[in-house]
Amino acid sequence: MHRRDLMVGGLGLGLAALPTFEPGTALAQPVTPTRGGVARIVVEEPPILTSAFITTMNIGMVSSKILEGLVSYDLDLKPVPALAESWETSADGLRTTFRLRQNAKWHDGTPFTAADVRFSLLEVWKKLHPFGRAVFANVTEVETPDPYTVTVVLSAPALYLFNYINTYGAQILPRHIYEGTDILKNPANVAPIGTGPFRFKEWQRGSHLVLERNPDYWQAGKPYLDGIIFRFIPDAVARSVALEAGEIDVTIGSLIPVTSLRRFSDRAKYTINTDDGRFLASIFLAQINVRRPHLGDKRVRQALSHAIDRAGLVRLVWQGYGKPATGPIPSSVTQYYHRGNPQAYDPRRAEQLLDEAGLRRGADGKRFRINLVSGSGNSLESGRAGEFIKQAFARIGVDLELIIEDSAAYLRRVYTDGDYDIMTSSLHKLPDPTLGVQRLYWTRNIVRGAPWTNGSGYSNPELDRIMEAAAAEGDLAKRRDLVNRWQEIVQEDAPILDLVELTWTTVSTARFRKERVQGDGMFAGLEDAWLAPR
Amino acid sequence: MSGIALTAAPPAASDSPGLLRRLAGNRSAALGGVLLALVLGFAVVGPLLWPGDPWEMVAAPMLWPGEDMANPLGTDVMGRDLATGLVSGARVSLLIGLVATLIAATIGTLFGALGGFYGGRTDAVLMRVTELFQTVPTFVLAVVLVAVFRPSVTTAVLAIGIVSWPATARLVRAQFLVLRDREFVLAAETLGMSTPRLILTQILPNALPPVIAMSTLTIAHAIQTEAALSFLGLGDPNVMSWGTIIGGGREQLTEAWYVCGLPGIAIIVTVLAFNLLGEGLNDALNPHLQRR
């Protein structure tokens, strides 16, 4: 139910990680895995079962067990081999070669080869995936010199490409099933044939979905589990109760409300993993419509930013599960994170800025009135954050009217009609700013009617040039300088107030263990997961 | 004869002496009155005892009632004082209940009166419209109306009013059908009284007593509907009502039941008060009982 705003596709996938206050509890357990058993996992019911051309998160949570990508990501969001064993990029940054697993097979017995990767990249990701179009825009050709080698030829360097090729961002589909068909309507989308550790068995819509162990999996001896049952429990209270009663083993994707997490704080009985969603680099933000009266003045936007106590927001609304955001890139994206926060909590400075902008308090103590729009399908925290911001603005004399609308009306109001002053949303910033951040500031991305584009209407030709240069820069150090400049500009101009770096929680019973810690654990294959004996 | 009939017209029930005494003598009405007085008192005196903004985060989140006397009824998940919230909720709920009912009574009376008085084709058309509204589940219609026009106090009041009028319309129509052919009405008509005057001064006053009784029940229903809308997140996000508090607290039902429980009790007491009062009024205003 929650997080619908995060799942609606647009352009926000993230690679960045959230800093965690709890070290990965799955780390370093010198226990021998137990074989057998069926893990019962709760997710929100997905509409289909392949992520190759759609970004809905809960599809990824299920499909990642069946279908795989070239890599997965560790806690630092560095790529770890999956179907690609190794890779190298030429000195000019224009050719990237992947060596593939030679013992991987599709669930119907057909061998997995380079042709599958070529087909998926050119016909599925580049053409149909909402982000894939950007990620693979520079790809001019995909060469397959032998069945286990793929060379991607680029027209310009694309460092960001390595940040979006896991099973969630670039899922590899079987060419022999999809070629020559209408990919979006292929029956395999709801009964997938993959290379992953688990095979699709049964899907009872509205109730559950069953996966069984793939005995021919390319990692010898894995998976440990005999199968997985995904259960769909729409009510949050019922989910918590089911986990406590031992009826389920795992919930993925912050399905237990933060206010209930204290019930699962006993480490002997439960594990709360806060690293699984690092890859998404999600930030809760307030976007300001700079075309509105007063809000076109950057002093006013800075004042609004100074008025919000981000630490208080994290503490009260997110119950500590999150981190105050300081800029457009979350701190977990260590490669590009910019430390400075020019708009720390300072209500007096806020009032001063508003006075300077000529917006003095009236006889009733109020300066002006604006609205804040959010979607009713957004998270529970999103609504509470609106209430928090209303109080914060009241303190500096800004009267805030909260408007909550259903998701469709909210998107129309913000991206089609532009009829709002401030909107809140949770967006994936992804581990690379070119993929997840540029879209929110780029002048060319002011696209009427397209959700999750540049909806603030902010336009800065200098920033546009910097962002475009950063995208095509093949040298990491130079690229970092460009991204730093970029962050300084948007922190100063403040068309978007980044408020909270979100933490995605996976809550499980302590019996549920996993060998490897992943930054994209939400989309883990779980071949290395097992259930410890009771 | 017509003159006699005119003077024999039954006086409007609400003017009759002894109504209050009869109400007081009715046990359910008396109990309802006392409960309602309590709720009204809470709404009026409450702001003096617990002043301030119900949205202000004043203390630690999820304080239990009695844990800290600065917040005697505890705090919600964001540290907002529940007593202040309940006072705000009382005012919002009563206001919405009254205004929505006024709207329902007005529309219902208009439809019922015209249909019952004119009969024939007018009646048929008006009653088909009424049936149209009666066949749609009222709460679903209210949800749709509020969702289509952005949630606010105004849309909630209008939506509740719009879904609540058909019962009143039916009742008023039945009254008019009966009264239309009574001697005093025929007499007035024969004397050349204009139709509007006939309806307003002769029939309506005599048709109203059951409407008043029913409206009291409608208030109770309106308060429940508003709470349910807010619970679903379709309340006015700028106004703290009982339903808002319940909706915000439902995820913590197992950790802090009182966040939902206290406003829940408030709704039960208020709805019970109006129901008892409505029943009592119905007995007291019953024209048969009255004439005896």
**If DSSP states are collapsed to H, E and C, what string results for A481-518?**
HHHHHHHHHHHHHCCEEEEEEECCCEEEECCEEECCCC
Pick B125 or B15 by higher pLDDT.
B125
Find the closest chain B residue to A235 by CA distance: B251
Mutate to test the interface with A, among B143, B234, B236, B238 (most CBs of A within 10 A): B238
In this structure, what DSSP letter does residue B61 have? T
Q: Is A236 an interface residue toward B (CB < 8 Å)? A: yes
Alpha helical stretches, state H, A260-320: 298-307, 310-316
Check if B27 contacts A (Cβ < 8 Å).
no
Q: What is the set of domains in chain B, with CATH numbers?
A: 21-47+75-290 (1.10.3720.10)
pLDDT of amino acid B123: 93
> Which residues, including other chains, have CB under 8 Å from residue B63's CB and lie 6 or more apart?
B71, B74, B75, B79
Per-residue pLDDT at B165 exceeds 60: yes
For chain B positions 220-259, those within 8 Å of chain A (CB to CB) are: 233-234, 237-238, 248, 250-255
Across the interface, which of B237, B251, B255 has its CB nearest the CB of A236? B251
Residue of A nearest to B61 (CA): A316
- Whole-number mean pLDDT of chain B? 86
Return the pLDDT at A486: 95
Chain A CB contacts of B238 under 8 Å are 390, 401-402
| Binary contact (A380, B251; C-beta < 8 A) | yes
CB-nearest partner of B56 from A383, A384, A391: A391
Decide if B7 touches A, using CB distance below 8 A: no
Task: Note the pLDDT of residue A6.
Answer: 37
The structure tokens listed for A141 are: 């050709």
> Which of B151, B248, B252 has its CB closest to that of A260?
B252
CA distances for A347 relative to A117, A327, A392, A403, angstroms: 54, 19, 9, 24
Nearest Cβ partner of B238 from A260, A316, A402?
A402
Q: How far apart are CA A483 and CA A394, in angstroms?
A: 35
Cα distance from B258 to chain A (closest Cα, Å)?
15
Taking CB atoms and an 8 Å limit, are B57 and A316 in contact across chains?
A: yes
Q: Is B56 on the interface with A (CB under 8 A)?
A: yes
How far does the CA of residue B244 sit from the closest CA of chain A (Å)?
11
- Tell me if A366 sits within 8 A of A400, measured CB to CB: no
Q: Is B243 helix (H, G, I), strand (E, B) or coil?
A: helix
**pLDDT recorded at residue B8:** 39
A contacts of B252 (beta carbons < 8 Å): 257, 259-260
Do A263 and B254 make contact, defined as CB atoms within 8 angstroms?
yes
pLDDT at B81 over 70: yes
CB atoms inside a 10 Å sphere around CB B267: 22
- Test mutation, A243, A318, A402, A410, chain B, max B CBs within 10 A: A402
pLDDT (0 to 100) of residue B288 = 57
Expressed in angstroms, the distance from the first to the final Cα of chain B is 24
DSSP-derived letter for residue B15 is G
Q: Which residues of chain A neighbour B254 with C-beta distances below 8 Å?
A: 237, 240-241, 260, 263
φ, ψ of residue A240 in degrees (nearest 5): -60, -45
CB-nearest to B77 from A259, A391, A401 is A259
- Confidence label for B17 from pLDDT (cuts 50, 70 and 90): low
Q: Which residues of chain A have pLDDT under 50?
A: 1-29
- The alpha-carbon gap from B227 to the nearest alpha carbon of chain A, in Å, equals 17
- Contact assessment for residue B290 and residue B13, using Cβ atoms and an 8 Å cutoff: yes
pLDDT for res B173: 94
Instruction: Verify whether the Cβ–Cβ distance B250 to A386 is below 8 Å.
Output: no
Nearest chain B Cα distance for residue A506, angstroms: 18
For B259-274, what is the mean pLDDT? 94
Model confidence pTM above 0.95: no
Is there a contact between B54 and B85 (Cβ–Cβ < 8 Å)?
A: yes
Select the residue of B57, B234, B255 nearest A259 (Cβ to Cβ). Answer: B255
CB A434 within 8 A of CB A267: no
Give the ipTM of the model, two decimals please. 0.72
- Coil, strand or helix: which one is A190? coil
Number of C-beta neighbours around residue B212 at 10 A: 15
Candidates A524, A517, A385; CA nearest to A20 is A517
